Amino acid sequence: MSEKLFVPENFVAPSKLETPHFRLRMLSVEDVEKDYEAVMETQARFHAMGSSWPREGFTIEENLADLERHQQEFLDRQAFAYTVVALDESRVLGCVYINPADGDEVDAAVVMWVRQSEFERGLDPILFDAVKQWLDASWPFANVSYPGRDEA
């Protein structure tokens, strides 16, 4: 028997979600510089939330390796990482990761973050609400968990 697929074979992952505040699209290696800037701006908040990522001294080369992995997982339909960008594509505002969940009760685990300056402007709850609605409307998951936001 084959391993359970994360998404059905005939499912086409949405290429983007656009709102009046931001656009979500596949995170790619082309985003490395803008993504690195957003990650480093937010490093202290990640650490304050208990994450060890990104480590002190995290380099743009390490970020590129992360983006290469996320891009390949997306193309292979194993997980879906989306960058959150300004509508004019000038800045990365955060990321959304749609990953297979551990166990059978949940279909997907979704983690997201916004850069520190956008968090301070109140973007985080706007992103969270938009992503929840998008997943309900456009993705084939019956049960989604949001680690760090709702503990099921």
Residues of the chain with pLDDT > 90, as a percent, come to: 84
Say whether pLDDT at 151 is over 60: no
Give the model confidence (pLDDT) of 5-60 as tens digits. Answer: 899 999 999 999 999 999 999 999 999 999 999 999 999 999 988 889 999 999 99
- So what's the pLDDT on residue 3? 62
| Eight-class DSSP state of 31 | G
Say whether pLDDT at 103 is over 90: no
Average pLDDT of the chain to the nearest whole number: 93
Q: Which residues pair with 109 in a beta bridge?
A: 99, 145
Domains along the sequence of the chain with CATH: 19-145 (3.40.630.30)
Question: 87 near 14, Cβ under 8 Å?
Answer: no
Say whether pLDDT at 150 is over 70: no
Q: Which two tokens stand for residue 18?
A: 């656009």
Q: Who's near 78: CB < 8 A, 6+ residues apart?
A: 6, 100
In terms of Cα–Cα distance, which of 93, 112, 79 is closest to 5? 79
- So what's the pLDDT on residue 1? 38
pLDDT band of 2, cuts 50, 70, 90: very low
